[in-house]
Copies of this chain bind each other. A is one copy, B any other.
Amino acid sequence: MLLTFWHKELIFYHKPPKNTMNTHHTLPVIGHHHSPLTQKFGIPRQPNLVAIKSHIRFVAPFNNPDAFVGIENYSHLWILWQFHHNKEQVNFRPQVRPPRLGGNDKIGVFATRSMYRPSQIGLSVVQLDRVEVVDNQAILHIIGADMADGTPIFDVKPYLPYVDGVHEAMGFDKPSVRDVKISERAEGDFEVLILNNTLQNDDKDIILSLIAQDPRPAYRQNEMGVMCSMRYKTVDVDFIRAEDMLVIEHIRRVKP
């Protein structure tokens, strides 16, 4: 006996779906990312490298807390988001110069995670901190995002360890981090800024981890003695390379 039920289903699915031949797809922005990093400079080059805390606020109707029930079964999540800091490309450029290669060598855009890609979609694994419900709206707290403040969010999916954790996968190794030193003056700045509540206690650790990633472009990472500035919350962190380490020289409050 060959059950009709199945064949009905098969026949249904055998019809080519109507939208197969679409040349474009439009999807809703379901929310926005909120982070102490308001600028591109300083954002870690990949997710999960710095335990920076941030959150996603969703827009209606996607902020319905029901849509997040069960998410606590997972420790990590995928976030699909928009590279909204780069201008939309009018023409497809098949090759990019990734910072990992010092910005000189060109490789295919589909062989990179570069922001300059047709979809404009970024993919990041982050740690799930918690779901908070405020005024019956879900707010997703995450750790380790490599997205700027304001980033439009397209999707949240659980990280499935047995599928997504490919232990035999081969690719490039994790880049090394630099030692970071805090100058006496910067130590004083931190103390004052924590005392007057401009920064919280753990912000100092996060700032150290962010600088340790050396946010400068690869082609400038050998430059000594040039002061660079990373904005974090309402402060600018000025740092300089000296020998093999990066030294935080001072932290300046930014005028609001």
The residues of A with any CB-CB pair to B shorter than 8 Å are 1-3, 6-7, 9-10, 13-14, 16-17, 19-20, 22-30, 32, 38-41, 46-49, 59, 61-62, 64, 66-71, 73-76, 78, 80, 82, 84-85, 88, 91-92, 94-95, 106-113, 117-121, 123, 125, 150, 152, 154-174, 225-229, 231, 238
With contacts A76-B166, A228-B6 taken as known, whether A119 is within 8 angstroms of B69 at the C-beta atoms is: no
Contact (Cβ within 8 A) A172 B160:
yes
Q: Among A27, A123, A164, which residue has the most Cβ atoms of chain B within 10 A?
A: A164
B22–A24 touching, CB < 8 Å: no
A88 to B82 Cα, complex, angstroms: 22
Whether A169 lies near B173 (C-beta < 8 A) is no
Excluding A10-B229, A25-B26, A70-B112, 20 further A-B contacts by CB distance (< 8 Å) are A6-B229, A20-B84, A24-B27, A24-B29, A25-B27, A25-B120, A67-B94, A69-B95, A73-B172, A74-B171, A75-B168, A75-B169, A112-B157, A113-B158, A121-B154, A161-B169, A163-B174, A164-B165, A165-B165, A165-B167
A109 vs B64: C-alpha distance in the bound complex, in angstroms? 11
A194 to B220, CA, bound (A): 60
A160 B113 Cβ-Cβ under 8 A:
yes
A170 touches B75 (CB 8 A): yes
Could you say which residues of chain B place their CB within 8 Å of the CB of A16?
150
Q: Nearest chain B CB to A41's CB is how many angstroms away?
A: 6
**A76 in complex: contacting residue of B88, B109, B169, CB < 8 Å:** B169
A-B contact pairs, 5 of them (CB 8 A): A22-B29, A62-B118, A69-B108, A70-B107, A163-B174
Complex CA gap A39/B13 in Å reads 6
Of all chain B residues, the one with the shortest Cβ separation from A162 is: B174
Task: Note all chain B residues with C-beta closer than 8 A to A82.
Answer: 19, 25
Complex-state Cα separation, A108 to B47, whole angstroms = 24
